[in-house]
Structure 1
Amino acid sequence: MFSLPQDPSSSSKAKGVFYLDEDENTLECLLKMMCGLSLPPVDTYDQLDSLLDAVEKYDTPGPLSIVRLLVMTPALTVQPFRLYGIACRFGWEAEAKHASTQTLQYNLYDPEIRPLLQRLSTDSLLDLMELHRSRREGLRQRLNDPPFVAGSTATCVSCHNLIDYHTWRELKYKIILEMDTRPLGDTVVEIGLLEWPEAVACWTAKCPENACHRSLYDKVETLRVIRDCVDKLPKSI
Protein backbone atom coordinates (compact mmCIF):
# COMPACT_ATOMS: atom_id res chain seq x y z
CA MET A 1 0.00 0.00 0.00
CA PHE A 2 1.16 3.47 -0.76
CA SER A 3 0.45 6.61 1.28
CA LEU A 4 0.57 10.27 0.39
CA PRO A 5 3.83 12.07 1.09
CA GLN A 6 3.92 13.74 4.50
CA ASP A 7 5.70 16.86 5.65
CA PRO A 8 8.73 15.53 7.55
CA SER A 9 8.32 18.22 10.18
CA SER A 10 4.77 17.09 10.96
CA SER A 11 5.94 13.86 12.57
CA SER A 12 7.46 15.77 15.42
CA LYS A 13 4.27 17.62 16.16
CA ALA A 14 1.73 16.36 18.66
CA LYS A 15 -1.36 14.99 17.01
CA GLY A 16 -4.94 15.41 18.16
CA VAL A 17 -4.28 18.62 20.10
CA PHE A 18 -7.25 20.94 20.65
CA TYR A 19 -6.86 24.53 21.73
CA LEU A 20 -9.64 25.74 24.02
CA ASP A 21 -10.46 29.05 25.66
CA GLU A 22 -11.06 27.61 29.12
CA ASP A 23 -8.35 27.24 31.74
CA GLU A 24 -7.20 23.88 33.05
CA ASN A 25 -9.20 23.99 36.29
CA THR A 26 -12.45 24.86 34.51
CA LEU A 27 -12.04 22.07 31.98
CA GLU A 28 -11.10 19.58 34.69
CA CYS A 29 -14.23 20.39 36.65
CA LEU A 30 -16.48 20.28 33.58
CA LEU A 31 -15.09 16.96 32.33
CA LYS A 32 -15.33 15.36 35.76
CA MET A 33 -18.97 16.42 35.94
CA MET A 34 -19.61 14.87 32.55
CA CYS A 35 -17.85 11.64 33.54
CA GLY A 36 -19.38 11.30 36.99
CA LEU A 37 -16.06 11.68 38.82
CA SER A 38 -15.50 13.39 42.16
CA LEU A 39 -15.22 17.15 41.84
CA PRO A 40 -12.63 19.59 43.12
CA PRO A 41 -14.02 22.23 45.50
CA VAL A 42 -16.06 24.95 43.80
CA ASP A 43 -16.47 27.60 46.48
CA THR A 44 -16.02 30.95 44.76
CA TYR A 45 -18.13 32.76 42.19
CA ASP A 46 -15.08 33.39 40.01
CA GLN A 47 -14.75 29.61 39.61
CA LEU A 48 -18.46 29.25 39.11
CA ASP A 49 -18.70 31.96 36.45
CA SER A 50 -15.94 30.34 34.38
CA LEU A 51 -17.59 26.96 34.76
CA LEU A 52 -21.01 28.27 33.74
CA ASP A 53 -19.55 29.94 30.65
CA ALA A 54 -18.11 26.57 29.63
CA VAL A 55 -21.36 24.77 30.42
CA GLU A 56 -23.25 27.16 28.14
CA LYS A 57 -20.61 27.04 25.42
CA TYR A 58 -20.61 23.26 25.18
CA ASP A 59 -24.35 22.90 25.90
CA THR A 60 -24.03 20.35 28.71
CA PRO A 61 -27.29 20.11 30.71
CA GLY A 62 -25.89 17.44 33.05
CA PRO A 63 -23.15 19.65 34.51
CA LEU A 64 -25.62 22.54 34.63
CA SER A 65 -27.88 20.53 36.92
CA ILE A 66 -24.88 19.86 39.18
CA VAL A 67 -24.04 23.56 39.29
CA ARG A 68 -27.62 24.26 40.33
CA LEU A 69 -27.01 22.12 43.41
CA LEU A 70 -23.62 23.73 44.06
CA VAL A 71 -24.98 27.28 44.23
CA MET A 72 -27.02 26.38 47.31
CA THR A 73 -23.99 25.23 49.31
CA PRO A 74 -22.99 27.43 52.29
CA ALA A 75 -19.84 28.76 50.61
CA LEU A 76 -21.90 30.29 47.79
CA THR A 77 -25.16 31.29 49.46
CA VAL A 78 -23.30 33.93 51.49
CA GLN A 79 -23.24 36.14 48.37
CA PRO A 80 -26.95 36.53 47.59
CA PHE A 81 -26.57 39.06 44.77
CA ARG A 82 -24.24 36.77 42.82
CA LEU A 83 -26.54 33.82 43.49
CA TYR A 84 -29.58 35.86 42.45
CA GLY A 85 -27.94 36.89 39.17
CA ILE A 86 -27.04 33.32 38.23
CA ALA A 87 -30.44 31.95 39.26
CA CYS A 88 -32.25 34.55 37.14
CA ARG A 89 -29.89 33.95 34.21
CA PHE A 90 -30.78 30.25 34.09
CA GLY A 91 -34.40 30.53 35.18
CA TRP A 92 -33.97 28.81 38.55
CA GLU A 93 -37.04 30.15 40.32
CA ALA A 94 -36.58 28.58 43.76
CA GLU A 95 -32.95 29.69 43.99
CA ALA A 96 -33.83 33.20 42.78
CA LYS A 97 -36.54 33.52 45.43
CA HIS A 98 -34.17 32.32 48.14
CA ALA A 99 -31.46 34.76 47.06
CA SER A 100 -33.90 37.67 46.80
CA THR A 101 -34.93 37.07 50.41
CA GLN A 102 -31.29 37.14 51.50
CA THR A 103 -30.74 40.50 49.77
CA LEU A 104 -33.21 42.10 52.19
CA GLN A 105 -30.30 42.45 54.61
CA TYR A 106 -28.72 45.02 52.29
CA ASN A 107 -29.33 48.57 51.12
CA LEU A 108 -29.57 48.58 47.32
CA TYR A 109 -28.26 52.15 47.29
CA ASP A 110 -25.05 51.28 49.12
CA PRO A 111 -22.11 52.13 46.79
CA GLU A 112 -20.52 48.78 47.63
CA ILE A 113 -23.57 46.95 46.29
CA ARG A 114 -23.68 48.86 42.99
CA PRO A 115 -21.13 46.66 41.13
CA LEU A 116 -23.17 43.58 42.05
CA LEU A 117 -26.37 45.15 40.76
CA GLN A 118 -24.68 46.07 37.48
CA ARG A 119 -24.25 42.37 36.79
CA LEU A 120 -28.01 41.81 36.78
CA SER A 121 -30.31 41.95 33.79
CA THR A 122 -32.79 44.82 33.69
CA ASP A 123 -35.77 42.62 34.54
CA SER A 124 -33.95 40.92 37.42
CA LEU A 125 -32.88 44.25 38.88
CA LEU A 126 -36.36 45.75 38.59
CA ASP A 127 -37.90 42.71 40.31
CA LEU A 128 -35.42 43.05 43.16
CA MET A 129 -36.01 46.79 43.53
CA GLU A 130 -39.76 46.20 43.57
CA LEU A 131 -39.40 43.64 46.38
CA HIS A 132 -37.38 46.05 48.52
CA ARG A 133 -39.74 48.95 47.80
CA SER A 134 -42.90 46.91 48.42
CA ARG A 135 -41.74 46.03 51.93
CA ARG A 136 -41.07 49.64 52.83
CA GLU A 137 -44.25 50.99 51.31
CA GLY A 138 -46.33 48.09 52.60
CA LEU A 139 -45.26 48.80 56.15
CA ARG A 140 -45.75 52.54 55.69
CA GLN A 141 -49.34 52.01 54.60
CA ARG A 142 -50.02 49.51 57.38
CA LEU A 143 -48.76 51.91 60.07
CA ASN A 144 -51.42 54.41 58.98
CA ASP A 145 -54.26 51.90 59.31
CA PRO A 146 -56.11 50.93 62.52
CA PRO A 147 -55.26 50.18 65.25
CA PHE A 148 -52.51 52.75 64.69
CA VAL A 149 -53.39 56.42 64.95
CA ALA A 150 -53.29 58.15 61.58
CA GLY A 151 -54.08 61.79 62.34
CA SER A 152 -51.79 64.38 63.87
CA THR A 153 -54.15 65.29 66.72
CA ALA A 154 -56.93 63.62 68.68
CA THR A 155 -58.55 63.73 72.08
CA CYS A 156 -57.63 61.68 75.12
CA VAL A 157 -60.10 58.86 75.69
CA SER A 158 -60.01 59.53 79.43
CA CYS A 159 -60.06 63.31 79.88
CA HIS A 160 -60.89 64.42 76.31
CA ASN A 161 -57.95 66.81 76.34
CA LEU A 162 -56.36 67.57 72.95
CA ILE A 163 -53.41 65.31 72.19
CA ASP A 164 -50.68 65.70 69.57
CA TYR A 165 -49.30 62.34 68.47
CA HIS A 166 -45.95 63.79 67.37
CA THR A 167 -43.93 61.05 69.10
CA TRP A 168 -45.72 58.39 67.05
CA ARG A 169 -45.19 60.35 63.83
CA GLU A 170 -41.47 60.60 64.55
CA LEU A 171 -41.24 56.90 65.32
CA LYS A 172 -43.07 55.98 62.12
CA TYR A 173 -40.68 58.15 60.13
CA LYS A 174 -37.70 56.42 61.76
CA ILE A 175 -39.17 52.98 61.03
CA ILE A 176 -39.62 53.78 57.33
CA LEU A 177 -36.09 55.17 57.05
CA GLU A 178 -34.74 51.99 58.60
CA MET A 179 -36.80 49.81 56.24
CA ASP A 180 -35.33 51.73 53.32
CA THR A 181 -31.83 50.92 54.58
CA ARG A 182 -32.49 47.32 55.65
CA PRO A 183 -35.80 46.02 54.24
CA LEU A 184 -35.56 42.79 56.21
CA GLY A 185 -37.01 44.70 59.16
CA ASP A 186 -35.12 42.80 61.85
CA THR A 187 -33.34 45.92 63.09
CA VAL A 188 -36.73 47.56 63.54
CA VAL A 189 -38.45 44.89 65.62
CA GLU A 190 -35.45 43.49 67.48
CA ILE A 191 -33.53 46.65 68.35
CA GLY A 192 -35.10 49.85 67.10
CA LEU A 193 -38.48 49.65 68.80
CA LEU A 194 -36.74 49.03 72.10
CA GLU A 195 -33.72 51.31 71.95
CA TRP A 196 -34.23 54.17 69.48
CA PRO A 197 -34.72 57.57 71.15
CA GLU A 198 -37.87 57.98 69.05
CA ALA A 199 -39.21 54.70 70.42
CA VAL A 200 -38.37 55.54 74.03
CA ALA A 201 -40.09 58.92 73.65
CA CYS A 202 -43.16 57.21 72.23
CA TRP A 203 -43.49 54.60 74.98
CA THR A 204 -43.07 57.21 77.73
CA ALA A 205 -45.48 59.74 76.19
CA LYS A 206 -48.43 60.66 78.41
CA CYS A 207 -51.50 62.83 78.25
CA PRO A 208 -50.42 66.44 78.98
CA GLU A 209 -53.36 66.96 81.34
CA ASN A 210 -51.90 66.71 84.85
CA ALA A 211 -55.08 65.26 86.29
CA CYS A 212 -55.01 62.48 83.69
CA HIS A 213 -51.40 61.66 82.73
CA ARG A 214 -52.51 58.51 80.94
CA SER A 215 -49.94 56.65 78.81
CA LEU A 216 -50.72 57.34 75.16
CA TYR A 217 -49.45 54.06 73.73
CA ASP A 218 -49.60 50.43 74.74
CA LYS A 219 -45.99 49.41 74.19
CA VAL A 220 -46.47 45.64 74.36
CA GLU A 221 -49.44 45.58 72.00
CA THR A 222 -47.88 48.07 69.58
CA LEU A 223 -44.69 46.00 69.37
CA ARG A 224 -46.72 42.87 68.72
CA VAL A 225 -48.74 44.46 65.93
CA ILE A 226 -45.69 45.98 64.23
CA ARG A 227 -43.89 42.62 64.32
CA ASP A 228 -46.97 41.01 62.80
CA CYS A 229 -47.03 43.65 60.06
CA VAL A 230 -43.37 43.04 59.20
CA ASP A 231 -43.90 39.27 59.14
CA LYS A 232 -46.71 39.65 56.59
CA LEU A 233 -44.68 41.72 54.12
CA PRO A 234 -43.55 40.10 50.82
CA LYS A 235 -40.44 38.00 51.40
CA SER A 236 -39.28 37.20 47.87
CA ILE A 237 -39.70 38.19 44.25
Structure 2
Amino acid sequence: MQADQSDSSIIAQPRGEYHTLFSSSDGDVVLGSKDGVLFRVHSHTLKTTSGWFRSMYSLPQRSSSPDQPLETLFVDEDSTSLEGLLKIVCGLVIPRLDSYDVIEPILHAAEKYDMPGPMSVVRALLATPPLLSDPLRLYAITCRYGWYEEAMMASRETLTLNLHSPEHRPTLQKLGTDALLNLFALHRTRREGLRHRLDDPPFVNDSGDTSCSNCRSIVDYHTWRELKYAIVMEMDGRPLGDTVCNPGLLEWPAALACWSAKCLNCDRALYDKTLTMRVIHECIDQLPTTIEPLPPPYPVPIIARSATEP
Protein backbone atom coordinates (compact mmCIF):
# COMPACT_ATOMS: atom_id res chain seq x y z
CA MET A 1 0.00 0.00 0.00
CA GLN A 2 1.44 3.37 -0.97
CA ALA A 3 0.75 6.75 0.52
CA ASP A 4 -1.57 8.97 -1.48
CA GLN A 5 0.10 12.18 -2.58
CA SER A 6 -2.89 14.17 -1.31
CA ASP A 7 -2.51 12.63 2.16
CA SER A 8 1.23 12.70 2.77
CA SER A 9 4.56 13.84 1.38
CA ILE A 10 8.17 13.33 2.43
CA ILE A 11 10.38 16.33 3.14
CA ALA A 12 14.10 15.84 3.72
CA GLN A 13 14.48 18.64 6.26
CA PRO A 14 11.99 19.09 9.11
CA ARG A 15 9.96 22.26 9.21
CA GLY A 16 8.24 23.65 12.28
CA GLU A 17 8.54 22.77 15.97
CA TYR A 18 8.32 19.39 17.67
CA HIS A 19 5.33 18.62 19.85
CA THR A 20 6.49 18.53 23.46
CA LEU A 21 5.17 14.99 24.02
CA PHE A 22 6.63 13.66 20.79
CA SER A 23 10.16 15.02 20.63
CA SER A 24 12.26 12.14 22.00
CA SER A 25 15.63 11.84 20.28
CA ASP A 26 15.36 8.05 20.08
CA GLY A 27 12.32 8.23 17.81
CA ASP A 28 13.18 7.21 14.26
CA VAL A 29 10.14 8.61 12.41
CA VAL A 30 9.03 12.23 12.12
CA LEU A 31 5.43 12.93 11.21
CA GLY A 32 4.40 16.45 10.28
CA SER A 33 0.88 17.78 10.61
CA LYS A 34 -0.59 20.00 7.93
CA ASP A 35 -0.21 22.99 10.25
CA GLY A 36 3.52 22.37 10.65
CA VAL A 37 3.81 20.62 14.05
CA LEU A 38 6.29 17.72 14.12
CA PHE A 39 5.80 14.42 15.96
CA ARG A 40 8.82 12.17 16.50
CA VAL A 41 7.77 8.60 17.20
CA HIS A 42 9.07 5.04 16.96
CA SER A 43 8.52 3.17 13.72
CA HIS A 44 7.90 -0.01 15.75
CA THR A 45 4.87 1.66 17.36
CA LEU A 46 3.49 2.67 13.98
CA LYS A 47 4.10 -0.75 12.44
CA THR A 48 2.39 -2.61 15.28
CA THR A 49 -0.64 -0.33 15.53
CA SER A 50 -1.24 0.67 11.91
CA GLY A 51 -1.82 -1.56 8.92
CA TRP A 52 -1.02 1.38 6.64
CA PHE A 53 2.42 2.00 8.16
CA ARG A 54 3.08 -1.73 8.39
CA SER A 55 2.51 -2.02 4.65
CA MET A 56 4.61 1.05 3.96
CA TYR A 57 7.57 -0.28 5.93
CA SER A 58 7.32 -3.64 4.18
CA LEU A 59 8.42 -1.88 0.98
CA PRO A 60 12.13 -1.35 0.24
CA GLN A 61 13.41 1.70 2.12
CA ARG A 62 16.17 4.06 1.01
CA SER A 63 19.43 3.67 2.91
CA SER A 64 20.35 6.30 5.46
CA SER A 65 23.35 7.05 7.67
CA PRO A 66 23.23 7.86 11.41
CA ASP A 67 24.40 11.41 10.69
CA GLN A 68 21.72 12.01 8.10
CA PRO A 69 18.69 13.98 9.39
CA LEU A 70 15.40 12.11 9.53
CA GLU A 71 12.99 12.69 6.72
CA THR A 72 9.64 14.16 7.68
CA LEU A 73 6.47 12.47 6.51
CA PHE A 74 3.84 15.19 6.26
CA VAL A 75 0.29 13.92 6.58
CA ASP A 76 -3.08 15.49 5.93
CA GLU A 77 -4.21 15.71 9.58
CA ASP A 78 -3.89 18.85 11.70
CA SER A 79 -1.85 18.80 14.88
CA THR A 80 -4.85 18.38 17.20
CA SER A 81 -6.12 15.29 15.38
CA LEU A 82 -2.65 13.79 14.99
CA GLU A 83 -1.89 14.40 18.66
CA GLY A 84 -5.06 12.61 19.75
CA LEU A 85 -4.38 9.69 17.44
CA LEU A 86 -0.75 9.25 18.52
CA LYS A 87 -1.57 9.60 22.21
CA ILE A 88 -3.88 6.61 21.95
CA VAL A 89 -1.50 4.35 20.00
CA CYS A 90 1.51 5.37 22.11
CA GLY A 91 -0.19 4.65 25.43
CA LEU A 92 -0.25 8.26 26.64
CA VAL A 93 -3.09 10.01 28.45
CA ILE A 94 -5.80 10.31 25.83
CA PRO A 95 -7.58 13.60 25.13
CA ARG A 96 -11.15 14.26 26.21
CA LEU A 97 -13.23 12.39 23.66
CA ASP A 98 -16.49 14.13 24.47
CA SER A 99 -17.15 16.07 21.28
CA TYR A 100 -17.86 15.02 17.72
CA ASP A 101 -15.50 17.74 16.53
CA VAL A 102 -12.77 15.83 18.38
CA ILE A 103 -13.63 12.21 17.65
CA GLU A 104 -14.60 12.49 13.98
CA PRO A 105 -11.14 13.61 12.76
CA ILE A 106 -9.52 10.91 14.93
CA LEU A 107 -11.84 8.26 13.52
CA HIS A 108 -11.17 9.44 9.98
CA ALA A 109 -7.41 9.25 10.52
CA ALA A 110 -7.65 5.88 12.28
CA GLU A 111 -9.68 4.50 9.39
CA LYS A 112 -7.23 5.88 6.82
CA TYR A 113 -4.17 4.46 8.57
CA ASP A 114 -5.91 1.20 9.50
CA MET A 115 -5.57 1.70 13.27
CA PRO A 116 -8.19 -0.43 15.06
CA GLY A 117 -6.98 0.65 18.51
CA PRO A 118 -8.15 4.29 18.42
CA MET A 119 -11.41 3.25 16.77
CA SER A 120 -12.12 0.76 19.56
CA VAL A 121 -11.44 3.41 22.20
CA VAL A 122 -13.88 5.84 20.59
CA ARG A 123 -16.44 3.08 20.12
CA ALA A 124 -16.34 2.26 23.83
CA LEU A 125 -17.24 5.86 24.66
CA LEU A 126 -20.18 6.27 22.31
CA ALA A 127 -22.79 5.61 25.00
CA THR A 128 -21.55 8.46 27.21
CA PRO A 129 -23.90 11.44 27.75
CA PRO A 130 -21.88 14.04 25.79
CA LEU A 131 -22.11 11.95 22.61
CA LEU A 132 -25.67 10.74 23.22
CA SER A 133 -26.76 14.37 23.30
CA ASP A 134 -26.55 14.45 19.48
CA PRO A 135 -28.11 11.09 18.54
CA LEU A 136 -28.40 11.79 14.83
CA ARG A 137 -24.69 12.47 14.50
CA LEU A 138 -24.04 9.39 16.62
CA TYR A 139 -26.23 7.34 14.29
CA ALA A 140 -24.29 8.63 11.27
CA ILE A 141 -20.95 7.61 12.79
CA THR A 142 -22.09 4.16 13.91
CA CYS A 143 -23.56 3.39 10.50
CA ARG A 144 -20.46 4.62 8.69
CA TYR A 145 -18.20 2.24 10.60
CA GLY A 146 -20.61 -0.68 10.74
CA TRP A 147 -21.12 -0.60 14.51
CA TYR A 148 -24.57 -2.13 14.40
CA GLU A 149 -25.40 -2.48 18.10
CA GLU A 150 -24.49 1.15 18.65
CA ALA A 151 -26.44 2.15 15.53
CA MET A 152 -29.57 0.52 16.94
CA MET A 153 -29.03 2.33 20.24
CA ALA A 154 -28.55 5.63 18.41
CA SER A 155 -31.68 5.09 16.33
CA ARG A 156 -33.69 4.75 19.54
CA GLU A 157 -32.28 8.06 20.79
CA THR A 158 -33.35 9.82 17.56
CA LEU A 159 -37.02 9.22 18.37
CA THR A 160 -37.11 12.57 20.15
CA LEU A 161 -36.24 14.32 16.87
CA ASN A 162 -38.30 15.51 13.93
CA LEU A 163 -36.25 14.31 10.96
CA HIS A 164 -38.04 16.77 8.70
CA SER A 165 -36.61 19.78 10.55
CA PRO A 166 -34.17 21.73 8.34
CA GLU A 167 -31.52 21.68 11.08
CA HIS A 168 -31.06 17.91 10.64
CA ARG A 169 -30.67 17.96 6.87
CA PRO A 170 -26.84 18.32 6.79
CA THR A 171 -26.40 15.25 9.01
CA LEU A 172 -28.98 13.21 7.12
CA GLN A 173 -27.18 13.96 3.86
CA LYS A 174 -24.10 12.18 5.22
CA LEU A 175 -25.97 8.90 5.72
CA GLY A 176 -25.80 6.03 3.29
CA THR A 177 -28.99 5.04 1.51
CA ASP A 178 -29.75 2.01 3.70
CA ALA A 179 -29.03 3.85 6.93
CA LEU A 180 -31.23 6.78 5.89
CA LEU A 181 -34.15 4.62 4.76
CA ASN A 182 -33.97 2.46 7.89
CA LEU A 183 -34.14 5.50 10.14
CA PHE A 184 -37.08 7.07 8.30
CA ALA A 185 -38.81 3.68 8.28
CA LEU A 186 -38.50 3.43 12.08
CA HIS A 187 -40.01 6.88 12.62
CA ARG A 188 -42.82 6.26 10.14
CA THR A 189 -43.56 2.76 11.49
CA ARG A 190 -44.13 4.15 14.97
CA ARG A 191 -46.47 6.86 13.72
CA GLU A 192 -48.46 4.62 11.40
CA GLY A 193 -48.50 1.74 13.88
CA LEU A 194 -50.17 3.89 16.51
CA ARG A 195 -52.54 5.45 13.98
CA HIS A 196 -53.84 2.04 12.88
CA ARG A 197 -54.05 0.83 16.47
CA LEU A 198 -56.30 3.76 17.40
CA ASP A 199 -58.91 2.42 14.97
CA ASP A 200 -59.13 -0.95 16.72
CA PRO A 201 -61.10 -1.91 19.86
CA PRO A 202 -61.43 -0.80 22.58
CA PHE A 203 -61.31 2.55 20.77
CA VAL A 204 -64.57 3.72 19.22
CA ASN A 205 -65.24 3.62 15.49
CA ASP A 206 -65.49 7.17 14.17
CA SER A 207 -65.78 6.31 10.48
CA GLY A 208 -69.60 6.32 10.33
CA ASP A 209 -72.81 6.64 12.30
CA THR A 210 -72.57 4.90 15.66
CA SER A 211 -74.85 4.72 18.66
CA CYS A 212 -74.44 5.55 22.32
CA SER A 213 -73.65 2.43 24.34
CA ASN A 214 -76.16 3.53 26.98
CA CYS A 215 -79.26 4.85 25.15
CA ARG A 216 -78.52 3.70 21.57
CA SER A 217 -79.09 7.15 20.11
CA ILE A 218 -76.92 8.26 17.19
CA VAL A 219 -73.62 9.78 18.32
CA ASP A 220 -71.04 11.77 16.35
CA TYR A 221 -67.57 10.89 17.57
CA HIS A 222 -65.90 13.89 15.90
CA THR A 223 -64.07 14.82 19.11
CA TRP A 224 -62.29 11.45 19.10
CA ARG A 225 -61.44 11.89 15.42
CA GLU A 226 -59.86 15.27 16.14
CA LEU A 227 -57.92 13.87 19.09
CA LYS A 228 -56.58 11.01 16.96
CA TYR A 229 -55.34 13.54 14.41
CA ALA A 230 -53.56 15.48 17.17
CA ILE A 231 -51.94 12.26 18.43
CA VAL A 232 -50.71 11.27 14.97
CA MET A 233 -49.28 14.73 14.31
CA GLU A 234 -47.47 14.63 17.65
CA MET A 235 -45.99 11.23 16.74
CA ASP A 236 -44.90 12.63 13.38
CA GLY A 237 -42.88 15.37 15.05
CA ARG A 238 -41.69 13.34 18.05
CA PRO A 239 -41.97 9.60 17.35
CA LEU A 240 -40.93 8.67 20.88
CA GLY A 241 -44.51 9.45 21.88
CA ASP A 242 -43.66 10.46 25.43
CA THR A 243 -45.45 13.79 25.04
CA VAL A 244 -48.68 12.22 23.80
CA CYS A 245 -49.90 11.13 27.23
CA ASN A 246 -48.32 13.94 29.18
CA PRO A 247 -48.97 16.74 28.54
CA GLY A 248 -50.92 15.90 25.37
CA LEU A 249 -53.89 13.91 26.64
CA LEU A 250 -54.06 16.09 29.73
CA GLU A 251 -53.81 19.55 28.18
CA TRP A 252 -54.52 19.56 24.44
CA PRO A 253 -57.76 21.35 23.53
CA ALA A 254 -58.73 18.31 21.44
CA ALA A 255 -58.20 16.06 24.47
CA LEU A 256 -60.18 18.30 26.83
CA ALA A 257 -63.02 18.42 24.31
CA CYS A 258 -62.95 14.65 24.05
CA TRP A 259 -63.09 14.01 27.80
CA SER A 260 -65.95 16.48 28.25
CA ALA A 261 -68.03 15.14 25.33
CA LYS A 262 -71.39 13.65 26.33
CA CYS A 263 -74.34 12.00 24.64
CA LEU A 264 -76.91 14.66 23.79
CA ASN A 265 -79.73 12.29 24.70
CA CYS A 266 -78.68 10.67 28.00
CA ASP A 267 -75.84 12.99 29.08
CA ARG A 268 -73.46 10.07 29.55
CA ALA A 269 -69.72 10.65 28.95
CA LEU A 270 -68.76 9.28 25.56
CA TYR A 271 -65.19 8.35 26.48
CA ASP A 272 -63.52 6.73 29.47
CA LYS A 273 -60.55 9.03 30.02
CA THR A 274 -58.62 6.73 32.35
CA LEU A 275 -59.03 3.63 30.19
CA THR A 276 -58.29 5.51 26.97
CA MET A 277 -55.08 7.05 28.31
CA ARG A 278 -53.91 3.71 29.68
CA VAL A 279 -54.49 1.84 26.42
CA ILE A 280 -52.82 4.57 24.34
CA HIS A 281 -49.80 4.40 26.64
CA GLU A 282 -49.69 0.62 26.22
CA CYS A 283 -49.93 0.94 22.44
CA ILE A 284 -46.98 3.33 22.35
CA ASP A 285 -44.93 0.99 24.54
CA GLN A 286 -45.50 -1.85 22.07
CA LEU A 287 -44.13 0.04 19.06
CA PRO A 288 -40.65 -0.82 17.71
CA THR A 289 -37.90 1.28 19.26
CA THR A 290 -34.89 0.64 17.01
CA ILE A 291 -34.07 0.10 13.38
CA GLU A 292 -34.03 -3.45 12.12
CA PRO A 293 -30.68 -5.24 12.57
CA LEU A 294 -28.41 -4.24 9.70
CA PRO A 295 -26.74 -6.72 7.35
CA PRO A 296 -22.92 -6.88 7.18
CA PRO A 297 -21.48 -4.02 5.10
CA TYR A 298 -19.62 -6.40 2.83
CA PRO A 299 -20.18 -10.06 1.93
CA VAL A 300 -17.94 -12.48 3.79
CA PRO A 301 -15.22 -13.60 1.35
CA ILE A 302 -15.23 -17.25 0.40
CA ILE A 303 -11.70 -18.61 0.10
CA ALA A 304 -11.44 -21.62 -2.17
CA ARG A 305 -9.33 -24.48 -0.90
CA SER A 306 -6.67 -26.00 -3.05
CA ALA A 307 -6.99 -29.57 -4.22
CA THR A 308 -4.28 -30.69 -1.78
CA GLU A 309 -6.04 -29.30 1.31
CA PRO A 310 -8.14 -31.71 3.40
If the length of structure 2 is used for normalisation, what is the TM-score? Answer: 0.70
- Pick from 216, 220, 223 the counterpart of residue 270 of structure 2: 216
Structure 1 position 162 matched with structure 2 position 232 = no
Match of 1:112 among 155, 162, 167: 167
Q: Which residue of 1 aligns with 2:261?
A: 205
* Cα distance between partner residues in 2 of 1:182 and 1:196: 16
1:66 is matched with 121
Specify the SS of the correspondent of 1:18. strand
Q: What does the per-residue CA deviation read over 1:165-207, in whole Å, with 9 as the maximum and x for residues that have no partner?
A: 1100010011101111111111111111010010001001101
Aligned to 1:230: 284
Q: Partners in 1 of 2:171 and 2:125 — Cα distance?
A: 20
Indicate the residue corresponding to 1:52 in structure 2.
107
Partner SS state of residue 120, structure 1: coil
Question: CA offsets, 1:90-124, max 9 Å, x none?
Answer: 11112111111111111111111111111111111
1:176 and 2:209 aligned? no
1:84 maps to 2:139 = yes
**Structure of higher RCO (CA pairs closer than 8 Å, 6+ residues apart):** 1
**How much identity, in percent, do the aligned residues show?**
57
Partner residue, 1:75: 130
Shift of 1:148: 0.6
Q: Which amino acid aligns with 1:195?
A: E
SS in 2 for 1:113: helix
Question: Matched residue pairs, number?
Answer: 225
Letter in 2 for 1:224: R
The residue number in structure 1 matching 2:200 is: 145
Is 2:246 the counterpart of 1:194? no
Question: What is the SS of the residue equivalent to 1:134?
Answer: helix
Paired letter, 2:278: R
Aligned residues of 2:212 and 2:219 also touching (Cα < 8 A): yes
Residue 70 of structure 1, CA deviation? 2.3
In structure 2, C-alpha distance between the alignment counterparts of 1:170 and 1:152, rounded to whole Å? 14
Deviation of 1:156 after TM superposition, in Å, equals 1.2
| Residues 103, 222 of structure 1: alpha-carbon distance in 2 compared, 3 angstrom cutoff | same
Amino acid at match of 1:58: Y
- Alpha-carbon offset, residue 14 of structure 1: 4.4
TM-score under structure 1 normalisation?
0.91
Indicate if the aligned counterparts of 1:136 and 1:179 stay in contact, CA closer than 8 A: yes
**Amino acid in the other structure paired with 2:169:** R
**1:134-183 CA-partner distances (Å, limit 9, x unpaired):** 00000001000111112332111221111111100010011101111111
Task: Report the structure, 1 or 2, having the larger helix content.
Answer: 1
Measure how far apart 1:72 and its partner are.
2.1
CA contact (8 A) 1:152 1:166 kept: no
3-state SS of 1:59 partner: coil
Shift of 1:43: 2.0
1:95 maps to which of 143, 147, 150: 150
Quick one: distance in 2 between partners of 1:57 and 1:170?
A: 54
Q: CA RMSD in A?
A: 1.6
Displacement after TM superposition at 1:13 (Å): 8.6
Q: Which runs of 5+ in 1 are unaligned?
A: 1-11
Deviation at residue 36 of structure 1 after TM alignment: 2.2
Q: Contact 1:33–1:63 at 8 Å: present in 2 too?
A: yes
